[in-house]
Structure 1
Amino acid sequence: MANYLKLFQIPDNFRFHRGGLIEGGILAYETWGKLSPDKNNAVLILTGLSADSHAASHSAHDTAGWWEYMIGPDKAIDTNQWFVICASSLGSCKGSTGPCSPNPATGQPYRFDFPDLTLEDIANSSKMLCESLGIDQLHATVGPSMGGMTALALLLNHKNYSRHLIHIASGMASPPFSTAIRSLQREAILKDENFNKGYYSAANWPEEGMKFARKIGMLSYRSAAEWRERFPRSLKQVPEHDFGIEFPVESYLEHHANQFIHKFDPISYLYLSRAMDWFNGDAYATKQSQNPLHGVNLQSALVIGAHTDLLFPVDLQQGLYQKLIDIDCSAQLSITDSIQGHDAFLVDQDVFSGLVGDYLNQTV
């Protein structure tokens, strides 16, 4: 059973973590599978920065989702068994309310009048969505990349809301290298002359800023080892002009950047990127040296990382695993040899589907 895109009305009294309110806010979401009579089989997917609610297809005629290999009948997240929910993040430009959405007070996009966005806001609005479906407690929360930190924000603020956790390619906070990468991406967007302090249009889009932001991101999403295998140095093309594209790896970056620049709103990108850097799960410790996860009530957790991940290196997953063990959570840690770096959870299908599927079967 599959349900197509739906809209959840966020209560007007929803207050942002750093202050501020919006009226008429919505979350765009999709579901797969059937909610059990006792509503105890719900699995919430929290997305990465640029992903949307369409995690998997709904029929043979629908387009593939961003995690197509993972979600569906008889797949790792088996929709014959689990009721799966995925929403476009609050603040994104993928159907949910964000800074590019119309402000009811003015009829114009919020732009920088949108409240400061945090991962706690995304977590809290996602919990409200689940509660609107009658789900008092999730069976599992699944979060890759930004979604992993959002999953922790959910657990840290609602300590009993999920019985199990699958945490992938993420950590308790963004390490300095990752923050540096994202700060350069934000700078590239802000300095594009077409950005115009947020007053850009489709005809005057900050293309160069978005293109450079995407290229910077692509450098950190994959590993040097993979690039060495995919792009032999001996293969060149004649550049169209001096210092033009000459090497295959340059063509690869150009192609992916051009595909992305009009698919995501620049201000939404800024807001979500900053929200990742603002999140600090360790700050939830109420005393010095206390485990910030103290009081979180998880039955079990699976923490997955990749040796080649530059954005969220394995010491972050190892640290989270130890914190989970320290609160008597039945935690598992799996560090893969996937060559694809941070993006391994999207492309190393056999490894990641095996880990996720085996773990969920253990939670039954």
Structure 2
Amino acid sequence: MTEFIPPGTRWIDLPSPFPMKRGGELQGARIAYETWGTLNAARDNAVLVAPGLSPNAHMAANSANPDAGWWEPMVGPGKPIDTDRWYVVCTNPLGSCKGSTGPASIDPATGTPYRFSFPELSIEDGADAIAHVVRELGIGQLACLVGNSMGGMVALAMLIRHPGIARTHINISGAARALPWSIAIRSLQREAIRLDPNFNGGDYNDEHYPESGMRMARKLGVITYRSALEWDGRFGRVRLDSDRSDDEPFGLEFQVESYLEAHARRFVRQYDPNCYLYLSRSMDWFDLGDHCAQRGTDSRAHTRAGLAAIHIERALAIGAETDILFPLQQQQEIADGLREGGADAQCLPMPSPQGHDAFLVDFDRYGPAVRGFLDTL
């Protein structure tokens, strides 16, 4: 498989070797990033966005790449993250196939893709990599660290492992630990990929690609990214216009099935399966409480102690009331825990019907919330 790198991507080299939390190290690794706006003379107007699992670093159009980005309505002149005021950085996660070093990248020791020889990847490794990017860009302290979905986990790990790296934090549909429901869904996604005959223990190519496994994994993901409320309102029980073929009696019949199939097919050959496995598992392993001395049988208290160990000025946790993958209780947990650490922290529930993906589509709600927080800084 090849990597999928958008035009205009830039890179920062990581220290070599770059040690990994669970053992092993990377040589010659790098992080992909893009920027918008101008860093001021005081170097105190930087906002960094840590995205979820699948996005690249091209969050919005810029001079290097005029194509619309995945968060286009949120970033730019006069937009909620206003590039007339802020110097904005977006990074591609370590372990991805969209510019940063990951399992699809070439291992300099062998000249072939890492595949399963890539070291075990943790959320903390991604956090350390981004912290290095911040320092290399000459930013002493971020004005705000924004984390979306998996990026919310990365942001929290960054705050606890690199104290003082950010003054404030916006956590959008993120979590301080993986819940059993989310772990179960991601486990099924990984199993679907691994059981595809073409997966071949991670040694596949473009000709023999685990397409069925990736399709099933993506469909499972999309189902959890949205809510039952949206599925019902958007599709109902509407059937497809064409009749089923006699030789495919259990083929697609409802519009919702067709939507999932089309969505999955657009994704499968634009994302490397091994990268998907590594990043998915890194979320399952994550619990911010592992960074503090407090232990016990109460997992919530364990995580809460990790959040309370973070010391920042202000924080806003935003979540969708219909999110089943990173449910609202997790954003409330983040706000409560950061408040115990001394932050002025609030949780803002959003009545969005779009579930976990609401922050990618419900800009009428999420835009004013992000803008309102940043405007007070």
1:278 alignment counterpart: 285
Instruction: Return the offset for 1:4.
Output: 3.6
* Matching of residue 134 in structure 1 with residue 155 in structure 2: no
* Matching of residue 321 in structure 1 with residue 325 in structure 2: no
The number of residue pairs the alignment matches comes to 361
Instruction: Return the offset for 1:115.
Output: 0.7
> 236, 239, 247: which one pairs with 2:244?
239
Identity %: 48
Q: How does 1:120-131 map to 2 (within 5 A)?
A: 120-131=124-135
> 11, 22, 43: which one pairs with 1:18?
22
* Residues in 1 aligned to 2:213 and 2:68: alpha-carbon distance in whole angstroms: 28
1:264 alignment counterpart: 271
1:118 alignment counterpart: 122
2:106 alignment counterpart: 102
Residue by residue over 1:67-96, the C-alpha shift from the partner in whole angstroms, topping out at 9 and shown as x without a partner, is 111111110000111111111111100011
1:54 alignment counterpart: 58
* Residues in 2 aligned to 1:40 and 1:127: alpha-carbon distance in whole angstroms: 16
* Residues in 1 aligned to 2:94 and 2:315: alpha-carbon distance in whole angstroms: 25
Q: Is the 8 A contact 1:160 1:296 kept in 2?
A: no
Residue by residue over 1:312-335, the C-alpha shift from the partner in whole angstroms, topping out at 9 and shown as x without a partner, is 111111111111121221112100
* Residues in 2 aligned to 1:126 and 1:199: alpha-carbon distance in whole angstroms: 29
* Matching of residue 250 in structure 1 with residue 285 in structure 2: no
* Residues in 2 aligned to 1:30 and 1:130: alpha-carbon distance in whole angstroms: 12
Q: Is the 8 A contact 2:308 2:338 kept in 1?
A: no
2:148 alignment counterpart: 144
Instruction: Return the offset for 1:133.
Output: 0.9
* Residues in 2 aligned to 1:211 and 1:235: alpha-carbon distance in whole angstroms: 21
Which amino acid counterpart does residue 267 of structure 1 have in structure 2? N
1:177 alignment counterpart: 181
Query: Equivalent residue of 1:217, what SS?
Result: helix
Instruction: Return the offset for 1:23.
Output: 1.2
Query: Equivalent residue of 1:219, what SS?
Result: helix
Which amino acid counterpart does residue 114 of structure 1 have in structure 2? F
* Residues in 1 aligned to 2:148 and 2:232: alpha-carbon distance in whole angstroms: 25
* Residues in 2 aligned to 1:319 and 1:295: alpha-carbon distance in whole angstroms: 14
Residues 30, 275 of structure 1: CA spacing in aligned structure 2 closer, same or farther, 3 A cutoff? same
* Matching of residue 164 in structure 1 with residue 168 in structure 2: yes
2:353 alignment counterpart: 339
> 66, 69, 76: which one pairs with 2:73?
69
Which amino acid counterpart does residue 181 of structure 1 have in structure 2? I
Q: Is the 8 A contact 1:73 1:80 kept in 2?
A: yes
Which amino acid counterpart does residue 340 of structure 2 have in structure 1? D
* Residues in 1 aligned to 2:12 and 2:157: alpha-carbon distance in whole angstroms: 20
Could you tell me the TM-score, scaled by structure 1's length? 0.96
Instruction: Return the offset for 1:13.
Output: 2.6
Which amino acid counterpart does residue 275 of structure 1 have in structure 2? S
* Residues in 1 aligned to 2:79 and 2:196: alpha-carbon distance in whole angstroms: 43
Residues 61, 325 of structure 1: CA spacing in aligned structure 2 closer, same or farther, 3 A cutoff? closer
Residues 295, 177 of structure 1: CA spacing in aligned structure 2 closer, same or farther, 3 A cutoff? closer
Give the stretch that moved more between structures: 314-323 or 261-270.
314-323
Give the stretch that moved more between structures: 51-60 or 154-163.
51-60
Give the stretch that moved more between structures: 19-28 or 143-152.
19-28
Could you tell me the TM-score, scaled by structure 2's length? 0.93
* Stretches of 4+ aligned residues off by more than 4 angstroms: none
Residue by residue over 1:32-78, the C-alpha shift from the partner in whole angstroms, topping out at 9 and shown as x without a partner, is 00001111111111010001101111159721111111111110000
Q: Is the 8 A contact 1:284 1:293 kept in 2?
A: no
* Residues in 1 aligned to 2:331 and 2:166: alpha-carbon distance in whole angstroms: 19
1:362 alignment counterpart: 376
* Matching of residue 37 in structure 1 with residue 44 in structure 2: no
Residue by residue over 1:216-246, the C-alpha shift from the partner in whole angstroms, topping out at 9 and shown as x without a partner, is 0011000000010111214333123211111
2:206 alignment counterpart: 202
* Matching of residue 296 in structure 1 with residue 303 in structure 2: no
Instruction: Return the offset for 1:159.
Output: 1.9
* Residues in 1 aligned to 2:309 and 2:263: alpha-carbon distance in whole angstroms: 43
Query: Equivalent residue of 1:69, what SS?
Result: helix
Unaligned runs of 5+ in 2: 1-6, 296-300
Unaligned runs of 5+ in 1: none
Instruction: Return the offset for 1:98.
Output: 0.5
* Residues in 1 aligned to 2:238 and 2:135: alpha-carbon distance in whole angstroms: 56
1:221 alignment counterpart: 225
Query: Equivalent residue of 2:330, what SS?
Result: helix
2:4 alignment counterpart: none
Give the stretch that moved more between structures: 312-321 or 250-259.
312-321
Instruction: Return the offset for 1:110.
Output: 0.6
Which amino acid counterpart does residue 190 of structure 1 have in structure 2? R
